[in-house]
Structure 1
Amino acid sequence: MARRKIVAGNWKMNKTPSEAVALVNELKPLVANEEVDVVFCVPAIDIIPAMQAAEGSNICIGAENMYYEEKGAYTGEIAPAMLVDAGVKYVIIGHSERREYFAETDETVNAKVLKAFEHSLTPIICCGESLTQREQGITIDWIRQQIKIAFLNVTADQAKTAVVAYEPIWAIGTGKTATTQQAQEVCAAIRACIREIYDDATAEAIRIQYGGSVNAKTAPELFAQPDIDGGLVGGASLKAEFGDIVNYNK
């Protein structure tokens, strides 16, 4: 069975609640593609107004982050139950910016992944290498380590529902894009790693996105690759162009 494509927008730290509503309303008719799962991962303060604006459309609202504890003295953090209660289905975990600026590690990513599954949230688990790692030829080793630790103690049934987003750090917001061949090679290696950890069925079920300066021009070729099941889109998800990416097959 062919895997259903998933295109997710990562809004990062952009859009006030009123701007979020305006953007959802603008994009709603542009992202109407019944063959693709469409997710807007928005800042926490935008989740509820964006959810209300997206009602009745094919847009799912996701979160950009969450904490791995149920509740407690963690000022400024968002608990998984808060996301569930707000109607969130997806949550980005371990984005390279979270790792770089907020000291997230492979171990905290794993804790968050386990907690997301506990609450029936679908994690979009990010992995990726720096330019130095790419130039030193350790990309695949590095990604495999990230994947193996992220999926520690995750069951095969849980893993089948997960989304992995491969984003070469050197291609995020730089305008540089990995070649289609580079993107496919790493996504294939991720699937092979999942096969090693679990089995063929799990590897075939899991969806793997490519991210890193995805745009309307590059999307059709990227999404046509056998191991690329969609995209995690940054800057372009804040513009009308996002509709062209979602409708790559039209």
Structure 2
Amino acid sequence: MKLIVANWKMNKTPKETKEYLETFLRLIEGVDDNVEILICPPFTSLCIAWDILKGSKVKLGAQNCHYEQKGAFTGEISLDMLKELGVSYVIVGHSERRWIFGETDELINKKVIACLEKGIRPILCVGEKMEEREAGMTLKVIESQLKLALSGLDEVSERIDIAYEPVWAIGSGNPATPEDAQLVHSFIKELLGKVRVLYGGSVNPQNAGEFLSMPDVDGLLVGGASLDPSSFAQIVKVSQR
């Protein structure tokens, strides 16, 4: 089943979240259940989002987590806290966490392990920078990120999702081509087996269908285009074709 994810990043207050979700749920009435829909709002909106989404076809995810259950980690959020708010997915290792906040592959590995132990499904993000792409290192970078993030884990392909997000495409308005995505997605499946792989990076209603037409693109991780309920609803509907 395809997975279509909205990553709102640091956008939308609880009030704005309520308005968005009420509109979005109306827009996707009648959408078949052959696609999973996931909304990942900021932490401050998880409570109101769960109240609205309970009983709907839309699932709730978080954009980050800490790997410890509790403790002196000022500003962090535990998986138990997220689970109590109805969170079933967590985005782990997003490039903005890696390159802006300095998260290492070793830290990301701890988060993946913690998610699996708590029964929350991680969406592990991988992707290369422009200079790595130009140097022909894309597949080497992806392989390294996957091996380090999944170190110590066996047979995880049925319990996680992978999101390929080339760093140079995120928010740039310059996405990878569907053929580029297919090449990397196929490579990831060769490494990990039967795993669901999403594409992310400047996805919009106009190009979503082209990406989803590729045989190894199993869903989308949508940033900016998910901030408008009409735009994201269009992407969800495209995914059913």
Q: CA deviation at 1:30?
A: 2.5
Q: Are the equivalent residues in 2 in contact too, given 1:33–1:247 (CA < 8 A)?
A: no
2: CA distance between counterparts of 1:110 and 1:70? 16
Name the aligned partner's letter for residue 3 of structure 2.
Answer: I
> Which of 173, 176, 197 does residue 175 from structure 1 map onto?
173
2: CA distance between counterparts of 1:154 and 1:29? 41
Is 1:242 the counterpart of 2:216? The answer is: no
Write the mapping of 1:51-200 to structure 2, written as runs, cut at 5 A: 51-156=50-155, 158-194=156-192
Is 1:231 the counterpart of 2:231? The answer is: no
1: CA distance between counterparts of 2:159 and 2:133? 29
The Cα RMSD (Å) is 1.0
> Taking every aligned residue pair, what percent have the same amino acid on both sides?
43
> Which of 209, 218, 221 does residue 220 from structure 1 map onto?
209
Name the aligned partner's letter for residue 145 of structure 1.
Answer: S
Gaps of 5+ in 1: 195-202
Q: CA deviation at 1:87?
A: 1.1
Q: Are the equivalent residues in 1 in contact too, given 2:116–2:159 (CA < 8 A)?
A: no
Q: Are the equivalent residues in 1 in contact too, given 2:185–2:217 (CA < 8 A)?
A: yes
Instruction: Name the SS of the counterpart of 1:134 in structure 2.
Output: helix
Gaps of 5+ in 2: none
Moved over 3 A (4+): none
Q: Are the equivalent residues in 2 in contact too, given 1:7–1:37 (CA < 8 A)?
A: yes
Q: Which moved more, 1:105-114 or 1:147-156?
A: 147-156
Q: Which moved more, 1:135-144 or 1:52-61?
A: 52-61
Q: CA deviation at 1:41?
A: 0.8
Look up the match of 1:197.
none
Look up the match of 1:47.
46
Aligned positions, number: 237
Q: CA deviation at 1:161?
A: 1.9
Look up the match of 1:200.
none
Q: CA deviation at 1:217?
A: 1.4
What is the TM-score of this pair, normalised by structure 1?
0.92
